[in-house]
Amino acid sequence: MIADSSFIIDIMRKSKDALAKLEALSRDGTTQYLTTPTVMEIAVGISLAQLPEKEQNRIDTIIGDFQVLPLDAISAWRAGIELGRLRKEGLLVDPIDAQIAGIALQHNEMVVTRNQRHFERFEGLHVESY
């Protein structure tokens, strides 16, 4: 399972639905991943929010519980092919979401997100919400 930044933010905010989803995934023994583009999104959010050190440490702790999958050449290629296909159809997609989808497709992992609509257009990608 790959956690999108919305899932990480909701865990940090102690959303009941996100925490219940995390608990269910943990109970099932599902390996929990982040992607390098997600780590970047979270870092941008932290730098813009000017969070107190306590909040930054909490985010670091949450992120530390996940393994990180990189955007390698094969994942980037898959992301680019999907992004191109969607643009041909006249659909605009965030390139970071395409990178996350490419990594998920390459590793045959589902994406867990509050923003299911951001990912449902990628062919073959399994997406779950909470």
How many angstroms separate the first and last alpha carbons of the chain? 13
Q: How many CA atoms lie within 13 A of 108 on its CB side?
A: 0
Percent of the chain with pLDDT over 90: 79
Enumerate residues 6+ apart whose C-beta is below 8 A from 57: none
Domain parsing of the chain, residue ranges: 2-128
What is d(CA 55, CA 61) in angstroms, rounded to the nearest whole number?
Answer: 10
How high is the pLDDT of residue 63?
A: 86
Query: By the 8 A CB rule, do 114 and 95 touch?
Result: no
How high is the pLDDT of residue 50?
A: 73
In DSSP terms, 127 is beta-bridged to 111
How high is the pLDDT of residue 130?
A: 95
Structural element, H or E, at residue 101: helix 95-106
Query: 2-128, which class in CATH?
Result: alpha beta
Percent of the chain with pLDDT over 70: 98
Q: What is the pLDDT of residues 80-109, one digit of tens each?
A: 999 999 999 999 999 999 999 999 999 999
